Amino acid sequence: MSDRVFQSRKIIIFFILVLLSRQLGARTWTVMPVGNSLTAGIIPGTSGLGDGFRGYLKDQLGADFTFVGGDVTITAGLNGHFKTGAKIESFLPGGDKDIMQALNTYNPEIVLLHIGTNNTGDKQGPYTEKYTASYNLRELINTIGKHQSVGYILVSKIISKLDANKIPLQQIQEFNKEIERMFFDNAISAKAVLVDMNSAVSYLELGIDGIHPVPSGYERMASEYTRVVQAITNNPGDTTSPTAITIVSAEVTDQPAISLKWYTPTDQGGIVNLYELRYLVDSQINSANFAAGTIITLRRPGKNSPSSGQERTTITEGILGGRTYSFAIRVYDQANNKSSISIFNPIMTPDELPQPGIAFVDSFNNADLRGWNYDPAYQVSNGRLSNSDAGSGWGKLAILDTIKYTPSAEFVEVGARYAPGNYNLGGLGLAMLLDTDDYRIANG
């Protein structure tokens, strides 16, 4: 046999192997975004439609994902099942956006569900009570879960909505708590995977209408979906539980509050996606009674102190004096595999809790702004923090490093907007207690 024939056969065999490997590795997923105007992509302050998060999401996911559904706004191929102004019940069987008709027509494998923003005028819960917003959501999730084509339902904890005074509506937080409760209580389809969209998009990224995100907010929504979708599709059949959480500390602070710290766990191949934190009062929590504990809502892993790997939360609501609090926590991955619980040392609160008040005041006697990370535009003059940049906006910050009443929080103080050399123009000083190191996505 000549060398030329031998080489030709090697090339043909190699080519066949490459084709086979591509065919075996090829996998196209069908995705159906379901929701209201936040899925349709309303542009804030207008009645006009864009592509919303769907355009960003398609770019991030790539060619292996096909969007399906009978609705599209601007760009062909960014299909879904959505309607501006729709409430949850519109998607239930018999509603004008009956989800079963869409599922039977398009047979999606992954459903992205962000719905409930238009139900804020309704009673939010409990999810066990008929016709509350969360009850209707439970019915919708379980309806979707019964369809044979659907493998995953990405259920979003929905983003904030602002009232007329630009304050986040409490109803959104109540609704999201009910979403967690129905998930942890195993009251919804096992195909449901929670997506913490509320942590992904800050209310500061909502547009003028206080409902729809600006482009960066829509992009964050897409990134959060991408994070979970890719973890699912890159790890099919994942049955490995995440590593148990490593506890750092639990202590009473003088806010009054209880401060918990731990290290972010890891997951082999997938992602850590959701925390379940519970506590009991005057009883030791353990694996047997964990489900009886009161749930504390946490931002998803990586959002409670993203710069350090050490995460934390501060519990202030419902803390009583002279009681013993026992906390335990576990984590879920993208396939809902969960770690074993990790238990914090029990904490006893003082009989009389301190009254909250001003914990730290800087008189600005140090010209070098000792203890602050600050933009060079900030200066101290005559005992006052001033900003030498005459421009408007809040892009230049001075961040206080050392908190004297508790190490588990940060102050961000924004200096008054004085023009250079002129202290008579007025302005605003602002101090905020943040729940994350990244002030751009903090929820306050």
* pLDDT above 80 for 382: no
Percent of the chain scored above 90 by pLDDT? 63
Q: What is the pLDDT of residues 305-360, one digit of tens each?
A: 655 678 989 998 888 889 999 999 999 999 999 999 999 999 999 887 766 554 45
- Give the Cα separation of 107 and 31 in Å (integer): 9
**68 neighbors 79 (Cβ within 8 angstroms):** yes
SS3 call for 324: strand
- Residues ≥6 apart with Cβ < 8 Å to 56: 218, 219, 221, 222, 223
24-234 fold: Rossmann fold (3.40.50)
DSSP string across 356-390? P----------TT-TTEEE-TTEEEETTEEEE---
pLDDT digits (tens, 9 = 90+) for 180-196: 999 999 999 999 999 99
pLDDT digits (tens, 9 = 90+) for 101-149: 999 999 999 999 999 999 999 999 999 999 999 999 999 999 999 999 9
In CATH, what class is 246-348? mainly beta
If pLDDT is split at 50, 70 and 90, which confidence band does 407 have? very low
Domain positions in the chain are 24-234, 246-348, 372-434
- pLDDT number for residue 160: 96
* Alpha-carbon distances of 18 from 9, 21, 64, rounded to whole Å: 14, 5, 18
CA 438 centroid distance within chain? 14
Assign 220 a pLDDT band (cuts: 50, 70, 90): very high
Q: Taking residues 435-441, what's their average pLDDT?
A: 46
Higher pLDDT, 11 or 201: 201
- Cα atoms in the 13 Å half-sphere on the side-chain side of 294: 12
pLDDT band at 384 (very low <50, low <70, confident <90, very high): low
Which two three-digit tokens encode residue 157? Answer: 């904890």
Mean of per-residue pLDDT scores for the chain:
83
With CA atoms as reference, report the closest residue to 260 among 285, 227, 242, 229: 285
Percentage with pLDDT > 70 across the chain = 73
**What is the rounded end-to-end Cα distance, in angstroms, of the chain?**
77
